[in-house]
Amino acid sequence: MVKKHGNIAAVLFALTISFLSGCGSSSSSTPTTVPNSATIFYAHNLVFRNSTTLMSTGYNGFGQLGTGNLGSRTALGPLSAYYPFSGFATGGNHSVAFFNNSTVRSWGYNAFGQLGNNSTTYSSDPVPVFANRSATVKLSGVKAVAAGAYHTLALKNDDTLWGWGQNYYGQLGVDFQATPPFNVSYVAVKANSAGISFSNISSIAANGYHSLARANGFVWAWGYNGTGQLGIDPKVTGAMSSPNRVPIPASGIINIAAGGASSYAVAKDNTIWAWGYNAYGQLGNGSLTQNYIPTQVVKSDLTPLTGVVQVAAGVSHGLARLSDQTVWAWGYNFFGQLGKGSVKDSSVAVQVVLPAGVVTDIRAFGSSSMAKVNGVWYVWGDNYYGQLGLITIGKILLPEIMLGL
């Protein structure tokens, strides 16, 4: 299903400014009660200690740290109890994690049902996600999760995709124009398979109000399309719930990431492609013009960035891990999330200043960035709420070792 939205540019601008301004703040107050509404976004972080224990740090106004209380913290600490999670994802103000090929738990903000527990009440403790409206059957067999601003996705072993939370733009992959309107789901629902074979789904991604899946070497996108993040001209449709195959001019997609209003894909020839919103240069193509047609991320000499093996995306910046053990970044840089020692935005990829070593993973969330070098997590960018787990609060312009691991 498709739906046109009036004044899309105004809607997107308001949403983007809300997300970016919510990423960092000079406020040091610690919430003791749940705020009336969410105004701070993507300011919490999860990370594994020793690949087994999930730790959390940062803003906790809705219990998204999973500590059993609403107290924010600036150093990594454990959840309220030990859970042998295998993977996780963080949304705007909620968190989700899954047990190995098993059930899912979520915690934090829940105004749109993004915890999937048949409720709209926040939870500071991990709660089960259910797959029926009577909340008697837990979602199970899960092998991957992803989270957007107010919605959550899970990929099961049978290659079915499930979603819960906000569905105003069809980001759950189910019809948001149904009668009555299917604008939210408080429990997990199976995504629409129209137009996509759900066999061989390799990975999923979500951010903002849109979702991505990689299947059979292609990228599929659905949800909000105000700036072309689905790979469709926004003049044609502002949102859609049926997955759209993105026309990337390279074959064999091996990795994907979703930005706040942009999307990214790495092809088997190790080039990287981006499309969607570009006001801060987050497409990395040397311009500030949004584009629904995928274009290549380039370096300062405007030659394509090559050798890419992994991509990650925050709200308005991108990261790439290369086979030569370097990390590159582009886009919004007000908080230093590009890791180059300044706060100047970049519309082309620039190399992050990291120590030499073997880089095995990268992550981006909000306006913060992470890279794992020689088994050690380095972090940089927005740390106004302690989401990087460092002693210094504020902008971290160059990578520092994450403490507490």
What pLDDT is recorded for position 31?
56
Q: Which domain holds residue 357?
A: 2-401
Which candidate, 248, 141, 251, 238, places its Cα nearest to that of 190?
A: 141
- Count of the separate structural domains present in the chain: 1
The CATH number of whichever domain residue 58 belongs to comes to 2.130.10.30
What pLDDT is recorded for position 193?
60
Kindly list the averaged pLDDT for each block of 10 residues, start to end, along the chain of length 405.
Answer: 42 51 52 84 96 94 97 96 96 97 95 96 97 93 97 93 95 81 88 64 96 94 97 96 92 96 98 98 98 98 98 98 98 98 98 98 98 98 98 98 95
Overall size of the chain counted in residues: 405
Q: Which pTM was predicted?
A: 0.93
- Check the CA dihedral 351-352-358-364 and report its sign: negative
CA atoms of 106 and 119, how far apart (whole Å): 12
CA atoms of 31 and 387, how far apart (whole Å): 15
